[in-house]
Amino acid sequence: MDGAHNCLWSDRFWRVVGILAGVLASMTTVGAIGPPNTASLPNRTVQALVDRLVSHDIDGRSEGWDLGQRIANLGVEAAPALEAALAECQPASRRRVVWTLESIDGYEPGERFDEAVALCVGEAVAELRHDAQRWNAIRAMTFLHRHEELAEPHLEAALRSDDHQQRQLAAHLLRRSSTYVPSPRMLNVTVEGLSDDVFPSGRRDDELRGSCVPVQNAVGAVRWFLRTPVRISEARAPLARALGSADTQQQFLAAYLLGRGGQVEGWQQTAAVLIPHLGDNDIRGDANMAAAALYGLGPRVVPLLRARLDRADWQEEALILLIIHHLRGPTDLDAEVPAYETRRQITGRVRDPIVDHRFVTVPWRTVRRSRGWAGTATRPSE
């Protein structure tokens, strides 16, 4: 799988380095601080910079960034040479030229530029696929996000790709779009992303050693659903299918969403997945999530919860009684447990996962299933 080397911060670091290098280079070329004196710069010098920008042997991403910044600093006088290059350059160079034109203050795009952007969008979507190149998917995502409206139909088509990485990155970009209306296919791919796959960054599978992709697709999917709960209802069918998944992460997150969304159809299966997660285990934060989701299923879960009390550990017992307290009211438990304010302290971060459910969120990253999931909620103290 391709992606960023080390992590997202390195991408930002090199961007800053490129900007600083471009500023210094433009100061050297133009010879003054402030607006460049492009009148003193021969046309052949501009053409030489553009020729280098579109060349095949350009020395990595930093040189491309540096050259683009230097040319953009020359102003609109550099635009004709760049537009001429758009008609002749190869796909690998086209996006650099487009980015440079977009960076020129006062540049007014024409028909040739619009055609080039449309070509770049299609090429960038193709680069979302899993391949042996580093950085190309990350660069493609950056470009597509800048042109999200034009990219939407291409990304929608990519949801049907046979490549898992391309499907998931397309869904990630569509979730960030402010104008996109989710299709049934988008809902299916988003539920697919709940599984324990090669995302997100920092995974150390043999194929990914030394690489990372700064996309948390499972976390992003859950938060996307919770931001607009009606989407949970729209995705009820694929979420219900995921309850039977062999992937335990996908199974649990699907049950969590169904519970938080109040989807009571087939609630017994949802509760059966959630209840075992109330106990003390090695999965960080799952008990708080399960408690909030079970509460969302309503009073119908109380008999199942009471049936677990005899074999529950201390944490599961406390959470079961807390859920029942909120579903039935305080008088229902007065004879069974200490005062409410004492029993509600389950973790250091979340006092009450029912009342404080806005702080009960899906873990920000996943690790190998044998190690469990790491998350934002604190593990209950022993």
Give the pLDDT score at 319: 93
Cα separations (Å) of 76 from 65, 67, 105, 107, 109? Answer: 18, 15, 7, 6, 11
- Percent of the chain exceeding pLDDT 90 equals 55
Helix pair angle (91-102, 136-146), 10° resolution: 40
> Residue 264 pLDDT > 50, yes or no?
yes
| Torsion angles phi and psi, residue 365, rounded to 5 | -150, 160
For residue 248, tell me if it sits in a domain: yes
**What's the pLDDT tens digit per position in 47-58?**
999 999 988 777
Higher pLDDT, 207 or 120: 120
For residue 96, tell me if it sits in a domain: no
For residue 158, tell me if it sits in a domain: no
Give the pLDDT score at 178: 87
For residue 202, tell me if it sits in a domain: no
For residue 84, tell me if it sits in a domain: no
For residue 296, tell me if it sits in a domain: yes
Give the pLDDT score at 367: 30
pTM, 2 dp:
0.75
**What's the pLDDT tens digit per position in 155-198?**
999 999 999 999 999 999 999 998 899 999 999 999 999 998 87
323 Cβ partners below 8 Å, 6+ apart? 291, 294, 295, 301, 305, 354
Helix (H) or strand (E) holding 211: strand 211-212
* Overall average pLDDT of the 284-295 stretch: 92
Place of tokens 């530029």: 113
* Overall average pLDDT of the 315-322 stretch: 92
* Overall average pLDDT of the 252-280 stretch: 96
- Residue among 229, 299, 291, 289 nearest 264 (CA): 299
Per-residue pLDDT band at 320 (split at 50, 70, 90): very high
Q: How far apart are the first and last CA of the chain?
A: 40
For residue 117, tell me if it sits in a domain: no
> Residue 132 pLDDT > 90, yes or no?
no
Give the CA-trace dihedral at 374, 194, 207, 130, to 10 degrees: -140
- Residue among 369, 279, 284 nearest 319 (CA): 279
- Domain with 324 in it: 215-382
> Quick one: three-class SS letters along 40-60?
HCCHHHHHHHHHHHCCCCCCH
Beta bridge partners of 211: 5
Q: Which of 12-21, 29-38, 312-321 has the highest mean pLDDT?
A: 312-321
Residue 110 burial by CB count (10 A; 0-12/13-18/19+): exposed, middle or buried?
exposed
What single-letter DSSP state applies at residue 354?
Answer: T
Give the pLDDT score at 234: 97
Report how many domains make up the chain.
1
For residue 71, tell me if it sits in a domain: no
Give the pLDDT score at 368: 34
Q: Which two tokens stand for residue 277?
A: 């997660």
Exposed e or buried b per residue across 219-253, where buried means at least 16 C-beta atoms within 10 angstroms of its C-beta: bbbbebbbeeeebbebbbebbbebbebebbbbbbb
Instruction: Say which range, 8-17, 96-105, 289-298, 301-310, has the weakest mean pLDDT.
Output: 8-17
Per-residue pLDDT band at 108 (split at 50, 70, 90): very high
DSSP codes, 302-341 = HHHHHHHGGG--HHHHHHHHHHHHHHH-GGGGTTTSS-HH
> Residue 22 pLDDT > 70, yes or no?
no
